[in-house]
Every structure is written in structure tokens, then in C-alpha cells.
A and B are shown apart, each in its own frame.
Chain A
């Protein structure tokens, strides 16, 4: 098997209150109208000056600590100069010689199922450029290009790993875990464009190829898989793998060559002379350390020890920080297994509605009431799921809604009704077609508004027929 080396550089948008170098608010910044959140600084007006948002440094330090990095005691910004229409100043304020943090690691499960440490080379803070919208094509073919400066100056952290991945699957797992950590740290807004990676891959010691700007974990895995296929094909055809930069076209699932090595940019870095050195004290780092909650991998280990539930259920619960918090609140008063089962169902409901737990309305009190009803046998599992679906975003109505699903005393008349209305099916059943029973059970469940479960319905139908 070939030896694959992959290293990645991931950019994450931070969810600070204001931009990195000015006071522009970031609230709902991805949904407000274009160019409504900008000021002289993020527009690069002559005479404007950057000033650093401490909140962004706080967030970056938290990420660095969660990824086991050493945070450096002094922080400097640099100018990276290149001309591009998305750059308001034609230079980006970033960090060059001295990053915010270095030498970290993150554990993942490798493609053979074993625990593997991925080294983190460095983490640094920089500003996002404006957003370009090419109308009628790409940058070279478009009729014209619109620029939205709302994005200009949003804080980004760049996380650079060592080239220690040996399979695309590992990259996906790394990014999934990273996203979960970022969500736990509350420094990140999950969204379409908030996590982008540049992927560097080299196979069997051949030249390194970079795939730029791949969004999310799944596309990163896909892009790498396809790159491996492309390179194998090229080698089979006797072609040489050149050092180059390629772009990933997500919809088309292909990569295209952007530039070969010789045209790589020279960014002419200098220290940012409008900003002074920032000292990061041990006290500051400690303060941030204390703000880091129990991280998902630690939570997983604790759940395994404390609660008798399957690893799959644990993963499902801890995947959402706030859902895990909810779970932990509920298990104080209820059986962890029962809670886990129903928290998992709640999660499926959220997933179906494309919402996170934070956006749900349900409280632990109501949720526990529902579990009590299940335990007492007042409602069927099916009925409980129906109630949960209705109250997840509307819990005030719990009493009214739950009443609809309480088991009826009059099951006999429902059974009679179903038999009466489905004479043909009953005839078939009596003639030996047992499959029809499933249909009849379904009718009973529906007619009873899910207050009768399948087992009971089957027993009663069989008795009657």
C-alpha cells in the first residue's frame, strides 16, 4: 500500500461580538444586508487604524489550550501583502514569525481503528478578507464582481497541523472532533463558510500538492480521496506529479489546477507597525484555562464510567454541548438509560428540523414529566415520540398535547371499528394471509392516535379474530 502524508491548514471564523480590528458588530453578520457592517478601518480608508479585539485573543487562547498547544508570551501581528480585490488594504493583518501558539496535539482514531496523535504545528490569528461575488462566471470570466465588506475583518484562527495524517478518513475525523471542540468552547458559529481547510498531500514521497479552500469535514475527505485517485491515475499514465496548488469545486467533486510552484506569491511580510507587541501573561492564560468546559473526549470517558449506556448513545449525546448539559441535568432525577434513549430521540427530532438544542424550547422539567408518563405506562413509546415532536419547540402546550396520547379505556371499540371497516383484510387474514395482520395493527395504532402499541394491538386483534 502506498504511503500517504497529509497536513492541513484550517481557518475558523470566531464568533466574537465585534470584528478583529474595529468595533463593527458581528451580530447576525452573515444574514444582514451587504456592506452594512463596515467602518473606515475594515474598509481600509486612508488614515484609519486597527485596534485589537481582546475577545478574539481570548477565544484563540482557549482553542490553543484545548488543542494542547504552548501559548507564547508575546504576540505580534504582521502584514502579508498581495493585491486582490477582496483585500481592503491589499495587505492582510496576520501573524508570521511568531504565532499565538505552537506544538499542540489532538488524538483521533486512525483508519485502522487505533488511537493516533496528530501534531499541531501552530495556531495564529488573522483577519478575514471581504467576500467577492462574481456575477456571470468565475473571477476570470465574470461580467463584473461585487464586494461585500461585511466579512472584511472578521477574526479567523488558522490551525496548522503537522503532515501526520495517513488517510483521508483521519482528516475527516480530525475536523469533526475539532468542530465539536470549537462548539464546546463557544468560539465558533457553525455555518456554511465558517470552517475552511487547505489540504497538503504527498504520496510515496512525491511532490506535495495543495488543495485550497475546502469547506467542512466531509468535503475534505472527499477532495483528498479524489486527489489520491487522480494522482494514481496520472502515475499509471506515466505522468510526473508536480508541486502545485489546486482548487476544489464542491458541486462537481473535482479539483482543478490553480498554479504551479514557480508562480507562488512572495508576500513580503513586515511587522504590523500600527499595532504594538501584546504580552500574554500566565494569569491571562490561566483565566482562559478556567473558562474551558469539560471537553468532549473527557466527557466520553466520564459517561462510560458513570452511566451504563452504549458508546453510540454517548457520542450522540455529547455531540451537542448543550444537549449533553441537558442530559446531565435530567440524569440527576431519572434513570440514565431511559434518559439517554429519549435524549437520543429528541436529538433526531432536532436533526430533522435542522436545529441545534440551543434553539429548542424544551426544559428538563417537562422532559422528565414525559419520561414519568412513559414509565407509568400512561402512554406508549409511539405516543411519547409524537408528544415530544410537538413540544420540542412549543412546550407550554405540553398538558394539552400529552392528553391526546394518553391510553384510552375503550380499546375494544377501536378494535371492533377496525374489523368492521376492513372487511376485505379480515377475510384475507382468516383465509390464511398472515401478512395482513401488520396492516390491521397499523390501522389500530392510527385510529387510537398512537395510544395503543403494536404488541397490544396484535394481541387484541388475534383474540377477537
Chain B
């Protein structure tokens, strides 16, 4: 364990994967956990300054379920999960182990980067709202498993958007991801959205593969070519399918996610925990404003404003309620596709990990557009697996596999096949 802690410290100096390294961890399987998951007595910041001193009084259910594991550290992330590149963090930006000038992706950037760089750790805990596992898995060249919504308890997760948040795994291999998921999956009465379904992991062969054409339209041509070459080389059969509402997914996702996020973040006001100041002589509004102005980063503020606007009287119908309807249509798209095929195969991200200098030039809207391939599966709550399929310009590429709700067995089975492909 000492070896592992020392490695984590060394890696942290170079790559900044951790907000906190827990030197008290002494035995068991080492596990790094995204910093928005509550760990009793271990600093939990969700990447935000507003929680710079927050030591939870209880463990998240996943932490309780990780029997025989020791939390070795809390990984860097975009503040509350608000980002695609882990650059919106109050605790430094994690750097891609394949190229220090590039992003790890986000928002579970620290967890993915650490798994890519560590010689010892086989899996880490991440969390996805709109692609925060698939994105950094693809950019760092590791496996990313986002389970079906409801399969893993969210109790103890610091909410971004409750109807979308899923705790999942970043791992070296599909088998590692699968064995970690086995530990954390399961019904939990403390989370009302938890579903009492047994996790399926049995290997299944001869799965029917579908290619959703909309997912290749906005992707780097070289990545598209590589995917089709691999598919053809492997000799498997596949058919084209269409998910026609994909083009509305980014808008619907950001409206729903930010409406929920703006209410979730209301609780951070400097009253019982987190950042505080001397309230003397201040009215409560003045005090709350002071704490929130100081404690939230720019992206968090932007998202609170957008989310609050979209649920205001007069806009609520045309934004929030309409986005909910779009979400239903997107689910229907997937349900229809899964009548024809067992698995959908698509690029994980539209490009390789961008350089920090490139990210700086992006507008917020271009930022959000990066999520085009991951938000629809997240809106639908279906399981997703991102598997590395080699490199382009020396940077990793990921292939994402999607299946119907609670059909983790399909993507895990096919994921293992993909791992065996000659890249």
C-alpha cells in the first residue's frame, strides 16, 4: 500500500490527479474516488472552493459497498462535474499522461488519468452526468463503464443533475471494470431511484451490432475511418441504424441538467458547512451572495444562471418541460434501435484529447458541443462502455458501446472482443 501511495504522490506532482491523497489508507485494494462522492472523514470538495473544508459525516453507499478496498485519494474533476476537460477545477487541472499539454477530459479527469498512469491500480470510481466517464476514458486510453441509471446507488453523491447522474468505473481492462461494477451495483433503499435488478455479466456471443449514423457525422474523419477499418478487419457483421432525435440531445441535456443543477447548488450558502465568513452586520441575502460569489467558479455561475432562467415562469414550458419531452423521444429512439440490434457502436468522442491551448479558444457553446456523442445515451440512462481502440497522432481513441437498460452483459461481452482486436 505504501508503494501505491508513494506512486500516487509522485504522479500527482506531475499530473495533478488528486485533490486529496489519503495517507491513512493501509490495507486492501487501493481505490481512487472522484471527489464528488462522500467519504466519511476524508475531504470531499466536488472540485469546488465552496466545499474546501467539507469532511462528510457519512460514506456514500458505493464506498460502503467497496468492501476490502481502501480509498487512497480523491481525484480532481470539473467543479460539480461542470465540464468536458477538467479545467473548471478549484484544485488544479489534471494533465493527460500521454501528453502533458493535453486534457484528460472530464469531468472524471483525475480518475481516468490516474488509471492510465498507475502501474498498480486497476480501477477507480468515476461519475457521469452527460459523458463524464466516457470522455476521459477515451482521452486517456482506459476503459470507462457508465452503468444503467439506477443500477448503482447515488446516495452520497454530491448531485449535479439527479435524474442523469450515474456512478461508474474507470479501469485498465473490461474485466477490471466488470469486477468493480459487481462490487458497487445493487439496490439501495436510501436512493429512491435505485432499481432492484440483478446485474447481468454473463458472456454473450453473436450479438447484433448497429451503427448509429448520426454519431459519425460530427466526428473527426480519421477516427471514423479507423473505426470502420477495425470493424471490417474483425469480420463482424453490422447494420446501420438511425437515432433521428440525436440532434436535439445537446440542447435537451443542458436544459434538464442545468435546471436540476441550479436547484442542487442552492444549498451551498455558507450556513452549515463549506466556505463561510463572518456574517456580522449582513442580512441573509447579502451573506448568501457573498459566499456564493466567492465560492463558485465561473462555469458553475454560468450554469446556475442558465438553469434558473430555463425554469422561470414564462420560460419553463418552452425550455424545461419541452426538454423533458425531447428526452422521452430520445429514449424511444434507443428502444426502437434495440429492437433491431443488441449493441450500438460509435466513437466515444468526436476528436482526440485537445490541447489546453486549443480549449482556451473554445466558446462555452463549442465546449458543450463536444458532448454530442455522449449526452443522448446519458439522457436515456442506458449503459455505456468506452474501450480504447489504439491511437491517432499518438493519442488514444475510444469506441463507445451502448446497450439497452440493464444489459450490461452485452457491452461487457462485446467490449472484451474489442479488446482482442488487432489495433
Q: Which of A40, A47, A273, A276 has the most CB of B within 10 A?
A: A47
**B320: chain A residues within 8 A (beta carbon):** 270
Contact call B192/A47, Cβ cutoff below 8 A? no
Contact call B267/A273, Cβ cutoff below 8 A? no
Question: Beyond A47-B56, A90-B269, A274-B192, is A140–B51 a contact (Cβ under 8 Å)?
Answer: no
**A83: chain B residues within 8 A (beta carbon):** 266, 269, 284-285, 288
B382 within 8 A of A: no
Give the segment of B109-117, B133-141, B310-318 that binds chain A. Answer: B310-318
B158 within 8 A of A: yes
Near B by CB (< 8 A), chain A positions 68-88 give: 79, 81, 83-85, 88
Q: Which single member of B192, B269, B313 contacts A50 (CB below 8 Å)?
A: B192
Contact call B271/A85, Cβ cutoff below 8 A? yes
Q: Give Cα A84–Cα B316 distance, bound, in whole angstroms.
A: 22
Contact call A47/B283, Cβ cutoff below 8 A? no
Q: Give Cα A147–Cα B272 distance, bound, in whole angstroms.
A: 10
A302 within 8 A of B: no
A89 within 8 A of B: yes
Near A by CB (< 8 A), chain B positions 258-277 give: 259-260, 262-263, 266-269, 271-273
Near B by CB (< 8 A), chain A positions 244-302 give: 266, 268-271, 273-276
**A145: chain B residues within 8 A (beta carbon):** 284
Contact call A45/B263, Cβ cutoff below 8 A? no
Question: Quick one: closest A residue to B59, CB to CB?
Answer: A47
Q: Which single member of B192, B262, B271, B283 contacts A49 (CB below 8 Å)?
A: B192
Question: Beyond A269-B311, A276-B193, is A91–B266 a contact (Cβ under 8 Å)?
Answer: yes
Q: Give Cα A85–Cα B282 distance, bound, in whole angstroms.
A: 13
B33 within 8 A of A: no
Interface size on A, residues (CB 8 A): 32
**A90: chain B residues within 8 A (beta carbon):** 266-267, 269
A337 within 8 A of B: no
Q: Give Cα A274–Cα B271 distance, bound, in whole angstroms.
A: 23
Q: Which single member of B56, B191, B192 contacts A45 (CB below 8 Å)?
A: B56
Contact call A81/B158, Cβ cutoff below 8 A? no
Q: Which single member of A49, A266, A270 contacts B155 (CB below 8 Å)?
A: A49
Contact call B312/A46, Cβ cutoff below 8 A? no
Contact call A268/B311, Cβ cutoff below 8 A? yes
A55 within 8 A of B: no
**B263: chain A residues within 8 A (beta carbon):** 79, 81, 91, 268, 270
Question: Beyond A45-B273, A83-B285, is A274–B162 a contact (Cβ under 8 Å)?
Answer: yes
Q: Which of B154, B189, B191, B271 has the most CB of A within 10 A?
A: B271
Contact call B267/A44, Cβ cutoff below 8 A? yes
Give chain A nearest CB distance to B132 CB in angstroms. 17
Q: Which of B266, B285, B288, B324 has the most CB of A within 10 A?
A: B266
Q: Which single member of A46, A49, A89, A270 contacts B259 (CB below 8 Å)?
A: A270
Contact call A51/B189, Cβ cutoff below 8 A? yes
**A43: chain B residues within 8 A (beta carbon):** 272
**A85: chain B residues within 8 A (beta carbon):** 271, 284
A4 within 8 A of B: no
Q: Give Cα A46–Cα B57 distance, bound, in whole angstroms.
A: 10
Question: Quick one: closest A residue to B162, CB to CB?
Answer: A273
Give chain A nearest CB distance to B385 CB in angstroms. 25
Please, what's the 1-or-0 string for A310-346, where 1 marks a CB less than 8 Å from any CB in chain B? 0000000000000000000000000000000000000
Q: Give Cα A409–Cα B191 distance, bound, in whole angstroms.
A: 77
Q: Which of A90, A145, A147, A275 has the most CB of B within 10 A?
A: A90
Give chain B nearest CB distance to A261 CB in angstroms. 14
**A88: chain B residues within 8 A (beta carbon):** 267, 272
Q: Give Cα A60–Cα B288 distance, bound, in whole angstroms.
A: 35
Contact call B193/A274, Cβ cutoff below 8 A? yes
**A268: chain B residues within 8 A (beta carbon):** 259, 262-263, 308, 311-313, 316
Q: Give Cα A40–Cα B51 distance, bound, in whole angstroms.
A: 16
Q: Which of A43, A44, A84, A268 has the most CB of B within 10 A?
A: A268
Contact call A273/B163, Cβ cutoff below 8 A? yes
Q: Give Cα A81–Cα B268 distance, bound, in whole angstroms.
A: 13
Near A by CB (< 8 A), chain B positions 12-35 give: none
A178 within 8 A of B: no
Q: Give Cα A83–Cα B263 distance, bound, in whole angstroms.
A: 10
Question: Quick one: closest B residue to A147, CB to CB?
Answer: B271
Q: Which single member of B60, B260, B269 contacts A273 (CB below 8 Å)?
A: B260
Q: Give Cα A48–Cα B283 distance, bound, in whole angstroms.
A: 28
Q: Give Cα A47–Cα B54 distance, bound, in whole angstroms.
A: 12
Contact call B158/A273, Cβ cutoff below 8 A? no
B157 within 8 A of A: yes
Please, what's the 1-or-0 string for A35-57, where 1 marks a CB less than 8 Å from any CB in chain B? 00000100111111111100000
Q: Give Cα A83–Cα B192 distance, bound, in whole angstroms.
A: 26
Contact call B192/A276, Cβ cutoff below 8 A? yes
Q: Give Cα A150–Cα B273 distance, bound, in whole angstroms.
A: 18
Q: Which single member of A49, A81, A84, A140 contacts B191 (CB below 8 Å)?
A: A49
A-side residues, CB < 8 A to B, are 40, 43-52, 79, 81, 83-85, 88-91, 140, 145, 147, 266, 268-271, 273-276
B-side residues, CB < 8 A to A, are 37-38, 44, 46, 51, 54, 56-58, 60, 154-159, 161-163, 189-193, 259-260, 262-263, 266-269, 271-273, 283-285, 288, 308, 311-313, 316, 320, 324
New A-B pairs, 5, CB < 8 Å, besides A83-B285, A90-B267: A40-B58, A45-B57, A46-B46, A85-B271, A268-B308
User: What would be 26 A-B contacts, judged by CB atoms less than 8 Å apart?
Assistant: A40-B57, A40-B58, A45-B272, A46-B267, A48-B156, A49-B155, A49-B191, A50-B192, A51-B189, A51-B190, A81-B266, A83-B269, A83-B284, A83-B285, A83-B288, A85-B271, A88-B272, A89-B266, A91-B266, A140-B283, A147-B271, A268-B262, A270-B263, A270-B311, A271-B324, A276-B192
4 tightest Cβ-Cβ pairs between the two chains A and B: A90-B266, A273-B162, A273-B163, A268-B311
